[in-house]
Amino acid sequence: MRLRLTPTNTTFFDLLAESAQLLVGGADLLGRMLGAERAERKAIAGELRDAEHVADEATHAIMRKLNQTFVTPFDRHDIYGLASGLDDCMDYMEEAADLIVLYKIGTLPPRVDQQVDVLRRCAEVTAEAMPRLRAMQDLSDYWVEINRLENEADKSYRKLLAEMFNGSMDPVDLMKLKDVVDALEGAADAFERVANLVETIALKES
């Protein structure tokens, strides 16, 4: 761990952990939405939209603190990257839920459930890891697991695309569904970007 000779503001660790914990709630809402009746989806999407607004405010709180703090616990550019990356994860999940409602999509393929299950696990693992930034220890299992989950998400995404483009779907329904699964894939990629940044920070601070 790099020695610092000046005091640092540790509030960032709490704020980042709070942002990551919000992702668990967002992923749970997304899972609930898939299992809900079509008539119930709008209300759940509204809850997820509210959760996304709370996550935005948590991100803004980190940015405000960053602008007010002279000495940060680690590189301020990396703090900005983590805050933005966590926000991206929520944005993609909220986008997928919103599209399901806006496009009035009915039954979703089972592999969409698999995508969301991966996102729920990504959110849980990320929320468990963020508090460990304070000590910069025991983080390698986190980025290894996120990488594994993202690979799982990629495989599910490719298989889902193959099923969608087998010629059995109406072209308009196909385009609608592809927007949704692309947003879910974007969320998985965003979780991996956060994990990659954590690995970079840990290497810098070691």
The string of pLDDT tens digits covering residues 144-191 is: 999 999 999 999 999 999 999 998 889 999 999 999 999 999 999 999
* In the predicted structure, residue 6 carries a pLDDT above the cut 70: no
* In the predicted structure, residue 75 carries a pLDDT above the cut 60: yes
Let me know if residue 1 belongs to a domain. no
Specify the pLDDT at position 5: 31
The string of pLDDT tens digits covering residues 109-129 is: 999 999 999 999 999 999 999
Let me know if residue 139 belongs to a domain. yes
Let me know if residue 183 belongs to a domain. yes
Are the C-beta atoms of residues 36 and 128 closer than 8 Å to each other? no
Specify the pLDDT at position 167: 81
Print the domain residue range for 137. Answer: 11-205
User: What single DSSP character describes residue 130?
Assistant: G
CA dist 185 and 54 (Å) reads: 22
Are the C-beta atoms of residues 19 and 86 closer than 8 Å to each other? yes
Specify the pLDDT at position 134: 87
Are the C-beta atoms of residues 85 and 194 closer than 8 Å to each other? yes
The string of pLDDT tens digits covering residues 15-46 is: 999 999 999 999 999 999 998 988 899 999 99
Let me know if residue 6 belongs to a domain. no
Specify the pLDDT at position 10: 56
- The stretch 68-86 carries a mean pLDDT of 88
Let me know if residue 4 belongs to a domain. no
pTM of the model: 0.91
Helix (H, G, I), strand (E, B) or coil at 57: helix
Instruction: Please give the tally of structural domains in the chain.
Output: 1
CA dist 149 and 144 (Å) reads: 9
Q: Give the Cβ contact number of residue 174 at 10 Å.
A: 14
Which of 58, 127, 48, 55 lies closest to 94 in space, CA to CA?
48
Let me know if residue 95 belongs to a domain. yes
Specify the pLDDT at position 188: 97
Specify the pLDDT at position 101: 96
* In the predicted structure, residue 74 carries a pLDDT above the cut 90: no
Helix (H, G, I), strand (E, B) or coil at 72: coil
Flag the least confident range among 9-13, 41-45, 174-178, 192-196: 9-13
Sign (positive/negative) of CA torsion 82, 86, 88, 89? positive
Let me know if residue 3 belongs to a domain. no
Share of the chain above pLDDT 90, in %: 75
Across the chain, the runs of DSSP E, i.e. the strands, are none
**Count of alpha carbons within 13 Å of 1, Cβ hemisphere only?**
10
Let me know if residue 33 belongs to a domain. yes
CATH number where 34 lies? 1.20.58.220
